[in-house]
A and B are shown apart, each in its own frame.
Chain A
Amino acid sequence: MARLNLALLALLVVCALSLVTSRYQARKLFVDLEREQAQSRAYEVEYGQLQIEQSTWAMPARIEKIAREQLRMQLPSPARLRIVEAGPR
């Protein structure tokens, strides 16, 4: 009888300790999760800022200016246009 009680006591101690550890683990993981979520929010913010930057660089007015002035591009005159008809497949 005493032996059974002792075994149960040992089991109880083990359970109690594992509860403490798992609780601790859960909190630690949760802290990690929070950090990752904060990081993901920060990335989202950065993504938005990059989108802004990209659209600023890609403004049609700027592209047109560069095409015309730096690359010296121009619309071909109608005389220099050839329309290619797609043949039957």
Chain B
Amino acid sequence: MRFAHTFKTNTPAAPRLPRLRAPLVFGGLLLLFVGLLGRSLYLQRIDNGFLQEQGSSRYSRDIEVPAHRGRIVDRFGDPLAISTPVKAVWAWPDQVDATPDQLKALAAALDLPTAALKQKLAQGGDFVYLKKPVAPQAAAHIAALKIDGIHDENEYWRYYPGGEVMSQIVGFTGDRDVGQEGIELAQQSWLGGHPGSRRVIINRRGEIVEDVASIRAPQEGRDLALSIDSRLQYLAFRELKAAVEVNKARAGALVMLDAKTGEILALANWPAFNPNNRQRTARDHMRNRALIDTFEPGSTLKPFTVAAALDAGKVSPQTIIDTAPGTLTIGHATIHDAHREGALTVEQVIQKSSNVGAAKIALSLPAETMWQMLSGAGFGAQPRTGFPGEVSGRLRAAKTWRPIEQATMAYGHGISVNLVQLARAYTVFASDGELKPVSLLKVDGAVAGRPVITPQTARAVRHMLEMVVQPGGTAPKAQISGYRVGGKTGTAHKLDGRVYGDKYVSSFVGFAPVSNPRLIVAVMLDEPGAGQYYGGTVAAPVFADVMGGALRLLGVAPDAPANTVVVPSDAVAVREET
């Protein structure tokens, strides 16, 4: 104890410490230390979620990776629908605290009257959209005003450069960029993009300095090429619209097919709507009549009756059919011709559109044969364009046909079709007897058809259809200078309730050039109300204008000398009904 001894010399004797004191203090400190160690172990290993979250929230962020909706383009890549990012500006009206000057600036940036803005904010409540879409520049300007309670969010706005010309085909998207009508709806899964999300590390200035992980890869929407040719579509739309207005029709539709591939090059409807601004659009104007409405086709079906009879070997093009006296009574019903003809060859039955002749030809056939012809030409089945809501029309089973029904079906009554089906059915005559599939999407390469009639029959009917537009036929107004044209008129009485009234559907279906058909055009006008209603006077001129313009645009070589158009005066033009 030398140490103690030295102390003793300077200081009074220290009180003697209890013997257990040092170990106790030491033990206490050790316990505290162990407690700390345990706590830290607990926080590090067991209950580490909370602190890690707190830590990472200071440097890492989950950010959304936007994915835009695919474009819809026409067959040449011209855009028909494009998405562009915009802002939607919204407010919590309760929280908005702005000076009159700020409000004025906000209204100016939103392009709204100040009073309208005040009214929106005065409604109160939780949430109100002030305006969407807002251009990104304007939104940046609004953000710079720094008004409390005013927020914006990213959105996509879908713009349709084609406007009403393309409206019913392309359709439109609704909220959140989801397809609602037309192709936008049908191809939602192809077009729609799915935004992704990724985790990143940010620095003090908010810059991203490192990619940590991709939580969800963004899936960009894919572009979609339609079979539509914008130029032809515009031409078809313009002519159809003019014809509907001149003839005071209730509505009209026009379909143009590529005769080789079955692609739909143009599909016009009137009335139409503007997809970029559809607040006041009537639901009815959105209907794509050519695909989702059916009508009784009338005489445009006669060539199929004749083709069935030719194919079955029952008649030849020159077989004489006696149509005198222009009426035919079957059971209690009588079939009328628009005017009396007498003895006609089968060719002339088509050329002059004789109901009695067609009915007689049909009655010479078994119902099953005729049903096979019509069904083979695609009637009674959906044309499978993939368009939402397309209809199949109505073709009843042959077993249920009574003779009068078989006779009326010969000239297109008692059966319902849509315009695309009708145009498609004519691919049988435009090709050498093959029915082509129709498509609203661009098709590359050759398209195989399904044989329906023999090539000889197809050529014979093609010749008859060419006679229709020549003097003595029902549609001289369908002629086009420089091209040989074939087609068939239809003037069908409309069912008014349960009886046929004096309202009509006027139609024309035809193809050109006859030497090697490239295009098929089908025109339909619903209830023309300006006095004229024959397919040959109402629908045929639309056909001629659209087909002529389209052939010139496509640079199809003429197959007839120019100036061969011979249009007899209206008085001698052959009339028809059905």
| Residues of A in contact with B (beta carbons under 8 Å apart) | 26-27, 30-31, 34, 45, 48-49, 51-52, 55-56, 58-61, 78-79, 81, 83
Contacts and interface: CB of A to CB of B under 8 A. Distances in A.
B481 A30 contact: no
Given A31-B208, A59-B161, A83 B558 contact: yes
Given A27-B209, A27-B210, A55-B78, A81 B562 contact: yes
A48 B82 contact: yes
B84 A81 contact: no
Contacts of B565: 78
A51 B208 contact: no
A67 B563 CA distance: 26
B209 A78 contact: no
Interface of B: 78-79, 82-85, 136, 159, 161-163, 165, 203, 207-211, 230-231, 234-235, 238, 481-482, 558, 562-563, 565
Interface SS, B side: mixed
Shortest Cβ-Cβ A-B pairs, 7 listed: A55-B161, A60-B234, A78-B481, A27-B209, A78-B562, A34-B208, A48-B84
Interface SS, A side: helix
Contact of B209 (A30, A48, A52, A60): A30
Given A31-B209, A52-B79, A52-B159, A83 B482 contact: yes
A52 B563 contact: no
A64 to B, nearest CB: 8
10 contacts: A26-B210, A30-B209, A30-B211, A49-B84, A52-B79, A52-B161, A55-B162, A60-B230, A60-B235, A83-B558
Contacts of A51: 79, 82
Contacts of B165: 60-61
A56 to B, nearest CB: 6
B83 A48 contact: yes
A52 B234 contact: no
A86 B186 CA distance: 45
Given A30-B209, A31-B208, A55-B79, A79 B234 contact: no
A59 B164 CA distance: 12
Contacts of A49: 84
A87 B208 CA distance: 67
A61 B209 CA distance: 50
B439 to A, nearest CB: 23
Contacts of A52: 79, 82, 84, 159, 161
Contact of A56 (B161, B203, B235): B161
The interface centre, meaning the residue of A27, A48, A79 with most chain B CB atoms within 10 A of its CB, is A48
B131 to A, nearest CB: 19
A55 B161 CA distance: 6
B210 A30 contact: yes
A65 to B, nearest CB: 11
Contacts of A26: 210
A19 to B, nearest CB: 15
A59 B231 CA distance: 9
Nearest to A27: B209
A37 B457 CA distance: 63
Contacts of A59: 161, 163
Contacts of B82: 48, 51-52
A30 B208 contact: yes
A32 B230 CA distance: 42
Given A30-B210, A78-B481, A83-B562, A45 B79 contact: no
Contacts of A48: 82-84
B84 to A, nearest CB: 5
Given A51-B79, A56-B161, A83-B482, A31 B562 contact: no
Given A52-B84, A81-B562, 10 more contacts: A48-B82, A52-B82, A52-B161, A59-B161, A60-B230, A78-B565, A79-B562, A79-B563, A83-B482, A83-B558
Contacts of A56: 161
Nearest to B557: A83
Contacts of A34: 207-208
